[in-house]
Amino acid sequence: MTLVQNPILPGFHPDPSIVRVGEDYYIATSTFEWWPGVRIHHSRDLANWRLQGHALTRDRQLNLRGVQDSGGIWAPALTHADGLFWLTYSDVRAFNGFAKDVCNYLVTAPSIDGPWSDPVPLNRSGFDPSLFHDEDGRKWLLNQRWDFRPDENQFAGVVLQEYCPRRKMLLGEPVLIFNGTERGVTEGPHLYRRDGFYYLVLAEGGTGDAHAVTLARAKNLAGPYEACPHNPLLSSADNPEAALQKAGHGSFVQTPAGRWYLAHLCSRPVGANRRCILGRETALQAIEWPAGSWPRLAGGGQVPVVTVAVPGAKAEPYLPEFHDEFASETLAPQWSVLREAPAGTWLSLAERPGFLRLRGRYSLLSTFDQSLVGFRLLHHRCCVSTRLEFQPRGFQQSAGLVFYYNTRQFHFLMIIGRDGGGRELRLLNADCGAYVNLLGPGILLPPDGPVELSGELSGETLRFFYSVPGAARQPVGPALDATLLSDDRVIEGGSWGFTGAFVGLCAQDSAESGIPADFTNFSYRAEQALACAEPAVVATAVAST
């Protein structure tokens, strides 16, 4: 057995849905407003995971233009049956206030690498859809049901409805099968059949500190379902000392040897305010499930553990280093963009080989037309750098390095044009919709030539640096509060957030000048990787399906 360190997928990897096909394990995670949609990781041993690709990669599959922060693709559920991969997910168009404007979809593929089909619309009654393949070959859709009435329980239970793959449609009427437990906020349903019972695995308690995985079971598919007497199966509520907080939203997988595991989301707070910069991450727990009995965490209790024993090879760190010299004509799969597929009008890797060329569009405040390419922050201590060549004509053109959570939360080190000519560095801070220039008039730069931009994250603190040819690296501005880049800070500001922090390369141009910003030599290094001999992961591109 190998001891694996949690989280197995650090950084923004929420709502994990795990499935095994033969000797291969796959995990699908939510991507929200980021393109491409639905990240899929692969492992042969549950210990070592690599990014396999994405399921939603075409315009006909995904249109997120204008979707609000933390809207978009929620809670994918990945299954395998009849020689196909089946993936259900929610596309959330709006969720503030009393309504949840959402459509649930299904895509299929003969291989995990695709091609994935065009989406089949399923329903709009709620979110977090999951497809269950029963032993008789029939297929059933489950999802959380949403009640828009503010004076009612808006998390109005789990509904079940048959799906016909031949006709690509739902049949009959949805049936309410479970109202949830007293913890409330019932969502994220998954169904498993074992030893004559249908087991319903649920996320409850909300996405914060009270989050949990709960269980119910029934002899018949449509119920009645009995709540597990020792609920919750998993939760870090009331255990503030636990390293993995906000634990919940899980799914089961069984190894070829018959062992059971739970993949679930979690977060790791830092600082006095206990904010989670890296967002909601994916962890793994061992499960004991005697025949006819309820599953429980191996070793007892309900609190997730940091290390878990799995059968397999030695576990290697997840992506401790990543370097990209932009030598390909397509982006490496580790990159994401906001709300739309890359287009040659604003992003090119071919016009100037060895460079990522961005042409600026709208500001970082916009939910349309952002020229931003983002890499997930995976470690609480890391160093990021890039070299930028950019010749703005004036203050309406800007480009640089951004540590980004959403349109209201970011730290942006940018090169802009000066009035009367020349260039300068500025540092823009965004917190709960308040935008502050931290450098006053800015730092004067040479009129031309490359500028090295870098950032160092150390726990709750972020510092920026810059250098120009022939000069030493210099700090830029004060030490910054990195915990602003968190769900927690967004919620403190009266909104909702469900994603995680990125480091991004971006450009803006309100004058539509077409002036390019050329980035190269992007480097990401975790601090713990610097003193060890782990090999760097060098960017490799994959063709979109």
What confidence tens digit (pLDDT) does each residue in 24-83 have? 999 999 999 999 999 999 999 999 999 999 999 999 999 999 999 999 999 999 999 999
Q: Which two tokens stand for residue 169?
A: 């449609």
Domain final residue pick, 253, 284, 299? 253
Q: Is 195 in the same domain as 95? A: yes
Query: Which pLDDT does position 542 carry in this prediction?
Result: 34
Pull the structure tokens for residue 543.
């063709």
pLDDT at 191 over 60: yes
Q: What is the pLDDT of residue 413?
A: 98
> With bands split at pLDDT 50, 70 and 90, how would you rate the model's confidence at 97?
confident
Average pLDDT, the chain: 95
- Residues 223, 360 share a domain: no
Question: Is residue 53 included in any domain, yes or no?
Answer: yes
Domain total for the chain?
2
Domain assignment of residue 357, yes or no? yes
Contact predicate 92/99, CB 8 Å? no
What confidence score (pLDDT) does residue 529 get?
Answer: 43
| Side chain identity, residue 536 | A
Residues annotated as catalytic (active site), given as ranges? 15, 187
Residue 313 pLDDT? 78
User: Which residues of 57-185 form beta strands (DSSP E)?
Assistant: 72-81, 84-94, 101-109, 120-123, 130-133, 139-146, 155-164, 169-178
Which is nearest to 26 in space by CA: 3, 6, 5, 44? Answer: 44
Q: What is the mean pLDDT of residues 526-539?
A: 47
Same domain, 56 and 149: yes
For residues 112-151, one letter each, b for 16 or more C-beta atoms within 10 angstroms of the residue's C-beta and e for the rest, the string is: bebebbebbebbebbbbbbbbbeeeeebbbbbbbbbeeee
Residues 56 and 189 in one domain: yes
Same domain, 362 and 246: no
Mean pLDDT over 357-374 rounds to 98
Residue 293 placed within a domain = no
Q: Looking at the domain assignment, is residue 284 inside a domain? A: no
| Residue 182 and residue 80 share a domain | yes
Locus of tokens 């949830």: 180
For 351-362, what is the mean pLDDT? 98
The pLDDT value recorded for residue 125 is 96
Residues 331 and 417 placed together within one structural domain of the fold? yes
Q: What is the mean pLDDT of residues 212-240?
A: 97
The CA-based angle 236-240-243, given to 5 degrees, is 70
Is residue 212's pLDDT more than 80? Answer: yes
Predicted pLDDT at 537: 42
Q: What is the mean pLDDT of residues 137-153?
A: 95
Tokens of 27: 């995990």
* Per-residue pLDDT at 441 exceeds 60: yes
pLDDT in tens, 75-91: 999 999 999 999 999 99
Please tell me the distance from the alpha carbon of residue 331 to that of residue 324, in angstroms, as a whole number.
Answer: 9
On whether residue 258 sits in a domain, the answer given is: no
Q: Are residues 489 and 362 in the same domain?
A: yes
Higher pLDDT, 97 or 542: 97
CATH number of the domain enclosing 339: 2.60.120.200
Task: Tell me what pLDDT residue 242 has.
Answer: 97
pLDDT of 545: 27
Strand partners, 236: none
Considering the domain architecture, whether residues 85 and 205 belong to the same structural domain is answered as yes
If asked whether residues 229 and 354 sit together in one domain, one would say no
pLDDT on residue 446: 97
User: What's the pLDDT at 539?
Assistant: 54
Q: Which pLDDT value is given to residue 1?
A: 86
Burial of 307 (0-12, 13-18, 19+ CB in 10 A): exposed
Considering 196, 226, 253, which residue would you say is the last residue of a domain? 253
Least confident range from 98-107, 138-147, 415-424, 525-534: namely: 525-534
Tell me the CB-side half-sphere exposure of residue 365, using CA atoms within 13 A.
10
- Band of residue 541 on the pLDDT scale cut at 50, 70, 90: very low
Report the pLDDT value the prediction gives residue 355, as an integer from 0 to 100.
98
305-327 mean pLDDT? 93
> What is d(CA 425, CA 400) in angstroms, rounded to the nearest whole number?
9
In the predicted model, what is the mean pLDDT of residues 185-210?
A: 97
Report if residue 415 sits inside a domain: yes
Do 74 and 172 sit in the same domain of this protein?
yes
Is 315 domain-assigned? no
Could you tell me if residue 25 is inside a domain?
A: yes
Q: What is the CATH number of the domain that holds 166?
A: 2.115.10.20
**What average pLDDT score do residues 133-149 get?**
97
Range of the domain at 396: 321-538
Tens-digit pLDDT profile for residues 394-430:
999 999 999 999 999 999 999 999 988 999 999 999 9
Length of the chain: 545
Stretch 496-522: mean pLDDT: 97
Residue-level pLDDT at 128: 98
Domain shared by 330 and 227, yes or no: no
pTM of this structure: 0.95
Last residue within a domain, chosen from 253, 279, 297:
253
Among residues of the chain, what percentage have pLDDT more than 90?
93
Tokens of 22: 């033969």
Q: Is the peptide bond before 290 cis (omega within 30 degrees of 0)?
A: no
